[in-house]
Chain A
Amino acid sequence: MSIVLIVAEQQPDGNLRKASLNAIAAGKQLADKSGGELHLVLLSKDPSKLAEELKGSGAKVIHTAAAPEFEHYLAEVYAPVIAGLAQELKATFVGAASTAQGKDLLPRVAARLKAAMATDITAINGSGADITFTRPMWAGNVFAEVKLNTPVQVISIRATEFSAVAGAGASAEVKSFQPKLEASKTKFVSFNEVKSARPELTEASVVVSGGRGTKGDFKEVEALADLLGAAVGASRAVCDAGWVPNDLQVGQTGKVVAPKLYIAAGISGAIQHLAGMKSSKTIVAINKDPEAPIFQVADYGLVDDLFKVLPALREGIQKLK
């Protein structure tokens, strides 16, 4: 029987990273298709609260380990513990959400397990021993079906492609284990959080993004976002210019979003950017340039100045309410 081990991610503020719920859903699907069971692992200074939260998520067992060293995530500290547990459980699959942490951690776990890895999987195909994964390549212009030919397989999961688990399933067994910690050559120094009152970009159902067309003035983008309860996103150009924090970047090398509604204001729509938002349900493009590539993916396009359109759009939507 196969064991699927999913790493649940604790954010720096102690809460569960929401993308982990999507990763757990993918893990459940993988366990069902491969004929196995789902296990979770949670490393924390104090894992009890999150373990409680995850009890109904469909896992058979939640493995928890507590240590003061787990307070600040470090790949070098986490990887040996997770790889060690995977070996002990004889896990066939190890996975996590494709977050910054997932991407930093999993290849190190895979290296220790001599396992091949697929990054950012968007689908699980096949059944039994013939499981394959679908994953994007070339900035989402190509989707590849890959097979991992190692006894243990490692995957990072694109959260937007799997619906989050509801959390009302049968109660998981919580098992704590004694982590074997290794000396680390890496030291945590600090974390500077970008605080925002708006919803998290990857979790928002509406995203309003601004590009070079804003000339650095995000007031109208933010005003529309606040009216819609939306997250604010940005193109690479505006992050590079330092106009908005880097963690707002949507794209191949930034965040991948798939909201119900994506409004791109003053964004030309370079391949790099499209890779991060092409799966949104409805896409609106507002751009002065009628030839901008963003219009090729937009459901509704409006060729005009965003500084005229956005206030009018806000007014129009307000009237509906």
Chain B
Amino acid sequence: MKILVTAKRVEDPESKIKVKPDGSDIVKEGLKYKINPFDEIGVEEGLRLAAAHGGEVVVVSIGPKEVQEQLRHALAMGAHKAVWVNHTGPLDQLGIAGLLQKVVELQKPDVVLLGKQSIDDDQNQVGQYLAEFLGWGQATFASKVESLESAEEKAKAPAVKLTADKKSVQVVREVDNGLATLEVQLPAIVTTDLRLNQPRYASLPGIMKAKSKPIEELTPEKLGVDVTPKIQVLKLASPPARKAGIKVPDVATLVEKLHNEAKVV
């Protein structure tokens, strides 16, 4: 089984994001970068699928040379090889999906695992665009029924189940008001939700080994994809600040304030 996983470089989710005074961008100084948490879950699921069914995990990232850090991180977790689409400058979801389509056509994976959204853009689009561009089935927001502390989690079995005939995967999806289960023919697109798995840490030998694993370099030109953004970000702004609140000393005061001041109870 060949599995392609994505590894977008994003700001550390714990970092405080501030907008530049002119609204042109966020303040980048002092920010740390990481692999998008949902992509990391995708890498983990890919590794579990490869361990259960044999095969290899190829990780892809698009961006300037810094994204090689995220590729090395995925390689250190256990991915077998990496594809780097070298591109500086703005990109939108159409451009990303266009590039990934070409990478998929070159790599011919059975499953592509992507995060359901990246925590910077919060768009939640690329997996679905890619599925439509390729004419494949999609299962978005893949989750699992059991809690993360279940025995299954500890056994590290993949939550994305290969059917008996090995031609489809069964995926449990997090949707409004419950969980939906789909069966998608391979090759398929799966996007990961939070509760699919708990990504492993990269081990020291893993980190050492990652250094000698191959990274293939591509460019939008080589792939023949026009990545001129169609989504134009005109301006960024901070959300309106909330009026400073107060701390109340006891429940009686809280009830009084909620009743007479906020008039909500």
**Cβ contact within 8 Å between B121 and A137:** yes
Partner of B258, one of A11, A140, A186, A300: A300
Secondary structure type dominating chain A contacts: mixed
Q: A129 contacts the other chain (Cβ, under 8 Å)?
A: no
Q: B208 contacts the other chain (Cβ, under 8 Å)?
A: no
**Cβ contact within 8 Å between B129 and A107:** yes
**Cβ contact within 8 Å between B122 and A119:** yes
**Cβ contact within 8 Å between A252 and B122:** yes
- The closest CB in chain A to the CB of B136 belongs to A185
Interface string of B108-128 (1 = CB under 8 A from A): 000000001101111111111
**Cβ contact within 8 Å between B242 and A190:** no
**Cβ contact within 8 Å between A247 and B177:** yes
Q: Which residues of A contact B251 (CB under 8 A)?
A: 302, 309, 312-313, 316
- The closest CB in chain B to the CB of A316 belongs to B255
**Cβ contact within 8 Å between B265 and A317:** yes
**Cβ contact within 8 Å between B232 and A146:** yes
Q: Which residues of A contact B93 (CB under 8 A)?
A: 107, 116-117
Q: B51 contacts the other chain (Cβ, under 8 Å)?
A: no
**Cβ contact within 8 Å between A236 and B194:** yes
**Cβ contact within 8 Å between B132 and A108:** yes
Interface string of B227-265 (1 = CB under 8 A from A): 000111111111100110111101110110111001011
Partner of B248, one of A146, A192, A301: A301
Q: A69 contacts the other chain (Cβ, under 8 Å)?
A: no
Q: A295 contacts the other chain (Cβ, under 8 Å)?
A: yes
- Known A-B contacts A110-B125, A192-B179; A139 and B119 likewise in contact (beta carbons under 8 Å): yes
Number of A-B pairs whose CB atoms are under 8 Å?
A: 266
Interface residues of A in 138-196 (CB under 8 A from B): 138-150, 184-194
**Cβ contact within 8 Å between B234 and A140:** no
**Cβ contact within 8 Å between B178 and A193:** yes
Q: Which residues of A contact B133 (CB under 8 A)?
A: 111
**Cβ contact within 8 Å between A119 and B194:** no
Q: A217 contacts the other chain (Cβ, under 8 Å)?
A: no
- Known A-B contacts A141-B238, A142-B19; A187 and B245 likewise in contact (beta carbons under 8 Å): no
Q: A17 contacts the other chain (Cβ, under 8 Å)?
A: yes
Complex: A185 Cα to B187 Cα, angstroms: 9
Q: B52 contacts the other chain (Cβ, under 8 Å)?
A: no
**Cβ contact within 8 Å between A120 and B122:** yes
Q: A68 contacts the other chain (Cβ, under 8 Å)?
A: no
Show the binding face of A for B, using Cβ within 8 Å: 11-12, 17, 74-76, 79, 99-101, 103-108, 110-112, 114, 116-120, 132, 135-150, 184-194, 200, 206, 228, 236, 239-242, 245-247, 252-253, 260-261, 271-272, 278, 281-284, 290, 295, 297-303, 309, 312-313, 316-317, 320
Show the binding face of B for A, using Cβ within 8 Å: 11, 13-14, 16-17, 19, 26, 38, 92-94, 97, 116-117, 119-129, 131-133, 136-141, 143, 145-150, 168, 170, 173-185, 188, 193-195, 230-239, 242-243, 245-248, 250-252, 254-255, 257-259, 262, 264-265
| Additional A-B contacts beyond A104-B141, A139-B13 (5; CB < 8 A) | A100-B174, A107-B124, A136-B122, A192-B145, A313-B254
